[in-house]
Amino acid sequence: MKELRKLNDLPSLNDKLVKDNIHYEVLLNSSAEILHNITHYYRNTLYIFDSILDENDIIKDKLDDAITYFYSFLDILTSNVQSYFSAYTKDKCAVTLKLVKDDLVKTFYRDSISYRARKKNDRDTHGNIKLSEINENTDFYSIMNKDLKETTFLCNSLNSHESYSNSNSDYQKYYNACAVVPISRNSGKDKVILHVIGFLCVDNYKGGFANQHVENFLCGLSDPLYNLFLKYEQIINLAVDKGISNEKISKFYWGKG
């Protein structure tokens, strides 16, 4: 009787294997297309930045062009990553770029799908950009704390995490799993993080993040962001020094000192 049941299960098992193969083939093709999309806009944005920095001078029109190119790139980056991981995890994902300085963290950019629902979390009651302490957030603190020697934070169930904390007390309304990788420079030899300027974050409810593929995929995207963000910071500093303004400067600029 057991043998008969096993035989009867074969058609459904075969259907599952066929669906899984199709799913992974779609993901493989999608990852290649996504990487091409992102690197294409990365190259163009980098060219614009370098042309400004080579001259070591800036005017209002060039600043506006640089910011426009940068934000177009960020939109391509976050929307493509959101699309890929929603398909990969089979759950709706959100993508966020955070910035960090002097143990403070702020939200810099959200993907266009999650932006409307979550933008209220990014500013305080006075409309100012909300800042939070690194140690209020387990994911960021784990990466920044050199004693812990963690270079990423991947968790499929934050509810099950023994000590997870988040500066947003309402985070559970939006997600219960996340993958966070630093935008940083490290030693290369021992993966010791030397300088973190931000984080690339993906989250959802159902998980599917805690594996080597997700870590490698996201780190492969966050690594080149380090150089691009540094160049953008140089351009912003150049504009501030010359008194040239743009409404988007405050979202990135921390001030000097």
In a domain, 180, yes or no: yes
Strands 104-110 and 94-101 turn out to be antiparallel
Q: Cα separation of 75 and 89, whole Å? A: 21
In a domain, 59, yes or no: yes
Q: Which of 80, 25, 22, 47 is nearest to 220 (CA)?
A: 80
Q: Which of 179, 183, 205 is nearest to 193 (CA)?
A: 183
CATH number of the domain residue 122 falls in: 3.30.450.40
Amino acid at 54: D
Coil, helix or strand for 71? helix
pLDDT of residue 187: 66
10 Å Cβ neighbour count for 228? Answer: 18
10 Å Cβ neighbour count for 41? Answer: 19
Assess contact for 104 and 133: CB atoms under 8 A.
yes
In a domain, 120, yes or no: yes
In a domain, 14, yes or no: yes
Assess contact for 114 and 195: CB atoms under 8 A.
no
The size of the chain, in residues, is 257
pLDDT of residue 147: 84
pLDDT of residue 125: 85
Which parts of the chain register pLDDT below 50?
10
**163-174 residue pLDDT tens:** 999 999 999 999
- φ, ψ (nearest 5 deg) of residue 23: -60, -50
pLDDT of residue 19: 57
Question: Which residues span the domain enclosing 70?
Answer: 2-252
- φ, ψ (nearest 5 deg) of residue 69: -65, -40
Domain count, the chain: 1
Q: Cα separation of 40 and 34, whole Å? A: 10
Q: Who's near 252: CB < 8 A, 6+ residues apart?
A: 99, 108, 232, 233, 236
In a domain, 257, yes or no: no
Q: Cα separation of 48 and 68, whole Å? A: 10
> Which residue reads 């994911």 in tokens?
139
**217-228 residue pLDDT tens:** 999 999 999 999
In a domain, 8, yes or no: yes
pLDDT of residue 232: 97
